[in-house]
Structure 1
Amino acid sequence: MTPYTALLDRVRAGALGPDPAALRIAVAFTTRQAVRHDGRGTGYRNEVLSLRLAGAVGSCAVEPGALPEHALDDCVGADVAGLLDHPLEPVRVAALDAYLMHTAPHTPANGAESVPLPSGTSLEKSRARARAVVELLDLPAGATVLVVGVVNSLLEELGSCGLGHVPCDLKGGTTEWGEPVVRDALAAADGCDALLVSGMTLGNGTFEPLREHAVRHGKQLVMFAQTGSAVLPHFLGHGVSAVCAEPYPFFWLDGGPGVVHRYRATGGRR
């Protein structure tokens, strides 16, 4: 049984809070974004499914255009227990994230260190978030980091810290600076000293092999998570060494101040 399966079993049994069958999703929505930061030559698109449970919002990123229209209708008014068994993985992840955000929000009592993000342009906020993420790595200069889920600001920040990187994304392509983006994360992981991984891997089924690799080789695995921001801290000490959690609303939605929540294996959830 994987830690993810064990976590699901505990939630279904009501071991981490109220019976999920008694809790219903009030609002389901998607957020679509296209961005090209000022001064950057390339852009990208995001799409995120979010579910509102009481005062909490759980989220899971999806490939743009991949989420069926009926997914929102399936979620609205549905109980969380039923959505944890929904045929679509992003719905299951978003439902789990919403439940855990509801029962154990990102607070110091739950192990979170809140890091403010300043107001500013989309690029300024992206770089501020990148600093908060990269600070969770404990590596000597010259080490190489596998970055799964290419974010140019993260690659830029790694370079400023004297760290090398191998960019990886299922879509392939090139980075802002023309570097090739590899598609096979596990094949690339063997040659890297640490892993910096997007929470989106929860929603596309690629998280568990990376977690197992980190455990097997004793490597740091730092997660930056808009997807599953309340889920991933539960894996601290089980292959995940640190998490930078960023629940909805995400930094790219407005120019005002924001916040991310950092967890480390020595002080996170269990």
Structure 2
Amino acid sequence: MTSALTATSHDDLVQRVRTGSFGPDPAALRIAVAFTTRQAVRHEGRGTGYRNEVLSLRLAEAVGSCAVEPGHLPDSAVEECAGADVARLLEHPLLPVRVAALDAYLMHVMPHTPDHGATPVPLPAGSSLEKSRARAKAVAALLDLPPGATVLVVGVVNSLLEALRSRGLRYVPCDLKGGATEWGEPVLPDALAAADRCDALLVSGMTLGNGTFEPLRRHALAHGKQLVMFAQTGSAVLPRFLGQGVSAVCAEPYPFFWLDGGPGVVHRYDGSCPGGGR
């Protein structure tokens, strides 16, 4: 059953935001600051690295974010977002802009607090790898699976795979870019094609920004599988699908763990708290 705080699809959520179901009219709210964050990572002791690029939009005290493929976001997009109202950006031709605007709006009206179903989990200060592993442990703990179960992992993060290995869980790593994991395992580009042979799904919020989230959500809902989201992209968006295919969310709004060596926090939703969708 859908509560007042959940949505049945991404399009349903956008429509409800447009019509004011979650709070103020998005046409009356303007983005003050738009910026991108770019990084390249190669943790000490790891044989592979990766790059990230994230579009972020500042709305009052809130920051909404959406990851993009490095180099694919035109510079003009940032300029178009600054000063624009949220309603206009929800109709922007670029999906990452629409996702970041939706995230900023929902972060503004439903921040990550216990009243909205969030449980804060502190991340200790440390190196980039130490913080990555601490976040991975917080994410993996949301999966309720026995050893030997198989997890579809969409958006390969080696620390997450390491956390699953430590619990005796098997996994099928997937990413649109393909490639290989730190341990030389092939990374499949088509996640949905591999979903049938997996017991649960562990999925990056980046799927919101590339349009692959909805098919995975529908698969989990149709087959009664756990779908745990780890979200820097759309951290305030994904909790709105709890009970509608999404079983739990580890939300990590800007600033992300890889930006600073000091202590941090992620916010876990398991669907059982007030505002969590159950």
Asked whether the two chains share a fold, i.e. TM above 0.5, the reply is yes
The answer to whether 1:150 aligns with 2:122 is no
* Percentage identity across paired residues of the two chains: 80
The alpha-carbon deviation at position 266 of structure 1 amounts to: 2.2
SS in structure 2 at match of 1:259: strand
Match among 266, 273, 276 for residue 269 of structure 1: 276
Q: Which residue of 2 aligns with 1:141?
A: 147
The alpha-carbon deviation at position 2 of structure 1 amounts to: 5.1
User: d(CA) in 1 for partners of 2:95 and 2:276?
Assistant: 24
User: d(CA) in 1 for partners of 2:85 and 2:276?
Assistant: 25
User: d(CA) in 2 for partners of 1:70 and 1:14?
Assistant: 29
Q: Which residue of 1 aligns with 2:3?
A: none
User: d(CA) in 2 for partners of 1:99 and 1:241?
Assistant: 23
Matches within 5 A, 1:227-238: 227-238=233-244
RMSD over equivalenced CA pairs, Å: 0.9
Q: Which residue of 1 aligns with 2:41?
A: 35
The alpha-carbon deviation at position 115 of structure 1 amounts to: 0.0
The answer to whether 1:44 aligns with 2:73 is no
Q: Which residue of 2 aligns with 1:115?
A: 121
Q: Which amino acid aligns with 2:99?
A: V
Matches within 5 A, 1:1-270: 3-267=9-273, 268-270=275-277
SS in structure 1 at match of 2:272: coil
The alpha-carbon deviation at position 41 of structure 1 amounts to: 0.6
The alpha-carbon deviation at position 14 of structure 1 amounts to: 1.1
1:87-117 CA distance string (max 9 Å, x none)? 0000000000000000010000110000000
User: d(CA) in 2 for partners of 1:215 and 1:165?
Assistant: 20
User: d(CA) in 2 for partners of 1:242 and 1:210?
Assistant: 14
SS in structure 2 at match of 1:190: helix
Aligned partners of 2:8 and 2:244 also within 8 Å: no
Q: Which residue of 1 aligns with 2:4?
A: none
SS in structure 2 at match of 1:91: helix
Q: Which amino acid aligns with 2:249?
A: V
User: d(CA) in 2 for partners of 1:265 and 1:193?
Assistant: 19
User: d(CA) in 2 for partners of 1:46 and 1:37?
Assistant: 14
Aligned partners of 2:117 and 2:271 also within 8 Å: no
1:162-199 CA distance string (max 9 Å, x none)? 10111000000000110000111011111110000000
SS in structure 2 at match of 1:211: helix
Aligned length in residues: 270
User: d(CA) in 1 for partners of 2:53 and 2:95?
Assistant: 15
The alpha-carbon deviation at position 7 of structure 1 amounts to: 1.0
Aligned partners of 2:8 and 2:241 also within 8 Å: no
Q: Which amino acid aligns with 2:48?
A: T
Aligned partners of 2:136 and 2:159 also within 8 Å: yes
User: d(CA) in 2 for partners of 1:116 and 1:176?
Assistant: 27
SS in structure 2 at match of 1:140: coil
Unaligned runs of 5+ in 1: none
SS in structure 2 at match of 1:49: strand
The alpha-carbon deviation at position 44 of structure 1 amounts to: 0.2
SS in structure 1 at match of 2:145: coil
Q: Which amino acid aligns with 1:228?
A: G
User: d(CA) in 1 for partners of 2:193 and 2:22?
Assistant: 36
Aligned partners of 2:270 and 2:276 also within 8 Å: no
Unaligned runs of 5+ in 2: 1-6
SS in structure 1 at match of 2:221: helix
TM-score w.r.t. the length of structure 2 is 0.96
Q: Which amino acid aligns with 1:38?
A: E
The alpha-carbon deviation at position 269 of structure 1 amounts to: 3.2
